[in-house]
Amino acid sequence: MADLLQATYSVTGGYDIHIQEKGSGPAVVFIHGSGPGASGGSNFRENIDAFVDAGYRVILPDLIGYGASSKPEGIDYTLQLFTDTLYDALQQHGVTKAALVGNSLGGGIAIQMTLDHPEIATSFVFMA
């Protein structure tokens, strides 16, 4: 796993959302779960090269509160906060359609994002 492109986007509320990317082709967004050390890279690092080799654009966001993204204190980390900040960052990153892979909390975020923005999901994979 080398040569990941990295970007950070300022989203609604002034928070920063960090995204890593590798490959080209149809987008697959891997949405990590919660827990100590959780991030896009830590949850899905073993999957990146297989998807890139299969012709996909792998998108690895760090949710608000995780990884290299903002970790604001004194706010409620609601499903809607995760969904809205991730959606905003994906739009800024040029991701308008994608297969959504959600691990645990990431699955709930994928579902909520699709309920709020049905045009984004081309397919789903839910884990855990």
- Residue 24 has a CB neighbour count (10 Å cut-off) of 11
Predicted pLDDT of residue 39: 94
Q: In what order do the strands lie in the sheet with 5-11?
A: 5-11, 15-22, 57-62, 27-31, 98-103, 121-127
Identify the DSSP state of 69: S
pTM of the predicted model over 0.85? yes
Nearest to 26 by CA among 101, 110, 86: 101
- Residue 94 has a CB neighbour count (10 Å cut-off) of 10
Q: How many domains does the chain have?
A: 1
Ordered per-residue pLDDT tens for the chain, 128 residues:
458 888 999 988 899 999 999 999 999 999 999 999 999 999 999 999 999 999 999 999 999 999 999 999 999 999 999 999 999 999 999 999 999 999 999 999 999 999 999 999 999 999 98
Domain that holds residue 20: 5-127
Asked if 85 contacts 17 with a C-beta cutoff of 8 angstroms, the reply is: yes
Give the helix/strand (H/E) hosting 126: strand 121-127
Predicted pLDDT of residue 3: 84
Predicted pLDDT of residue 4: 86
Predicted pLDDT of residue 72: 96
Predicted pLDDT of residue 5: 87
Query: Which CATH number does the domain housing residue 11 bear?
Result: 3.40.50.1820
